């Protein structure tokens, strides 16, 4: 059986990317299709056989300007040819579900959430002027997204919450399969921590310092700015781990008691979890793979 795996973009690291690694373990010989692949920021995918779209040729990183390149994504995924595949599995929260397959090819969509900025959190047009300019475009994309949502043969949701959204926005039934998690994670981390000497920076002595922890993509819908504003007032130590389009803005408004880190190893992350006073999660999660 020839299998294709599809994801929106392979360009960063987070909970969804852990799911991709699990899919790769399940189907190591499968081909991967994505709008674009950022080798520098996604070294974890170096063993994947990856096919990219014409968006890969854009000289500026498409992930950083994805609101400008968004109109291209429907064409990118519709341009892929899956004629020679028996099974197509799309893992997506955006456009990857829109691929076109022949009737003989089974298309299963593992949906992280219906396209968020179209249905659930329209955070890209909170500004009145931008909302006025973008509304016609958003309306067009919602119609297209609904039409594209009818293409998969079967939906699998990552949670009961997402299952309800699929029914509400796409009028499709789905089954729930929670994202996989390595139950030996903490055993591995604890054994590695015993021999570790992880230094964050001069502001924090991990084992003796009282600090709070937030692990998240740095995107508007994650409400990281709310946490930053709160801890500026509390003047308590906060460590934020993650990357995203809001990174520079959040760093610019943060105070000296807030420290940011990008990509950490599981050993380093486990050490931070172990000694934190609390884990801060101000957002509504689809599943919450933190």
Domains of the chain: 3-176 (3.40.50), 185-275 (3.40.50.2000)
Reported as a pLDDT band with limits 50, 70 and 90, residue 289 is low
| Residue closest to 12 by CA, chosen among 80, 61, 67 | 61
DSSP string, the chain: --EEEEES-B---SHHHHHHHHHHHH-TT-EEEES-B-TTT-GGGTTSEEEE-GGGG-SS-TTTTHHHHGGGHHHHHHT---TT-SEEEEEESSSGGG----TTSEEEEEESSS-HHHHT--GGG-SHHHHHHHHHHHHHHHHHHHHHHTS-SEEEESSHHHHHHIIIII----EE-PPP--TTHHHHHHHHHTT-----BTTB-TTT---EEEE----GGGTHHHHHHHHHHHT--EEEE---TTHHHHHHH--TTEEEE----HHHHHHHHHH-S-B---SPPSS---
* Of 227, 164, 104, 82, the residue nearest 96 (C-alpha): 82
* More reliable by pLDDT, 157 or 269: 157
**What is the average pLDDT value for the chain, to the nearest integer?**
86
Between 167 and 68, whose confidence is greater? 167
Q: Given pLDDT bands bounded at 50, 70 and 90, which one contains residue 196?
A: low
Q: Is the pLDDT of residue 191 over 70?
A: no
- For residues 195 and 273, the model is more confident at 273
**pLDDT(130) > 60:** yes
Q: Does the pLDDT value for residue 171 go beyond 90?
A: yes
Averaged pLDDT for residues 93-98: 94
**Is residue 244 very low, low, confident or very high in pLDDT (cuts 50, 70, 90)?**
confident
The pLDDT of residue 202? 41
Residue 238 above 80 pLDDT? yes
Asked if pLDDT for residue 9 goes beyond 60, the answer is yes
Q: Per mean pLDDT, which range of 184-193, 216-225, 268-277 is the poorest? A: 184-193
For helices 266-275 and 185-193, the axis angle rounded to 10 degrees is 90
Lowest mean pLDDT among 22-26, 84-88, 192-196: 192-196
Contact present, 73 and 52 (Cβ < 8 Å)? no
| Percentage, residues of the chain above pLDDT 90 | 55
Residue 217: the pLDDT is: 84
**129-133, 246-250, 276-280: which has the minimum mean pLDDT?**
129-133
Assess whether pLDDT exceeds 50 at residue 204: no
pLDDT of the residue at 203: 43
Would the pLDDT of 283 be above 90?
A: no
| Highest averaged pLDDT of the listed ranges 50-59, 101-110, 191-200 | 101-110
- What does the pLDDT average to over 38-44? 90
Whether the pLDDT of residue 3 is over 80: the answer is yes
**Which range, 131-135, 255-259, 274-278, has the best average confidence (pLDDT)?**
255-259
- Hey, which of 48-62, 101-115, 253-267, 273-287 has the most confident mean pLDDT? 101-115
Arithmetic mean of pLDDT, 5-34 = 93
> Quick one: pLDDT at residue 274?
82
């Amino acid at each position: 059986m020839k299998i294709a795996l599809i994801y929106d973009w392979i360009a960063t690291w987070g909970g969804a990317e852990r799911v991709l690694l699990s899919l790769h373990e399940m189907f190591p010989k499968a081909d991967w299709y994505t709008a674009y692949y950022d080798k520098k920021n996604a070294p974890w995918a170096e063993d994947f056989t990856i096919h990219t779209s014409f968006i890969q040729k854009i000289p500026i990183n498409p992930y950083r300007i994805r609101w400008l390149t968004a109109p291209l994504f429907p064409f990118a995924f519709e341009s892929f040819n899956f004629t020679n595949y028996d099974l197509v599995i799309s893992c997506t929260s955006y456009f990857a579900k829109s691929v076109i397959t022949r009737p003989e090819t089974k298309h299963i969509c593992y949906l992280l959430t219906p396209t968020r900025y179209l249905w659930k959190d329209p955070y890209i047009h909170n500004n009145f002027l931008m909302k006025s300019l973008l509304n016609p475009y958003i309306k067009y994309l919602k119609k297209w997204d609904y039409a594209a949502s009818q293409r998969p043969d079967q939906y699998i949701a990552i949670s009961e919450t997402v299952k309800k959204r699929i029914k509400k926005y796409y009028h499709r039934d789905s089954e729930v399969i929670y994202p996989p998690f390595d139950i030996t994670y903490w055993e591995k981390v604890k054994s590695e921590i015993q021999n570790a000497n992880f230094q964050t920076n001069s502001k924090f002595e991990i084992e003796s310092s009282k600090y709070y922890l937030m692990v998240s993509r740095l995107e508007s819908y994650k409400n990281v700015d709310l946490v930053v504003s709160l801890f500026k007032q509390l003047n308590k130590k906060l460590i934020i781990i993650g990357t995203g389009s809001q990174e520079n803005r959040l760093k610019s408004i943060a105070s000296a008691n807030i420290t940011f880190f990008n990509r950490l190893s599981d050993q380093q992350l486990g050490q931070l979890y172990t000694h934190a006073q609390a884990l801060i999660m101000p957002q509504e999660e689809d599943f919450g793979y933190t």
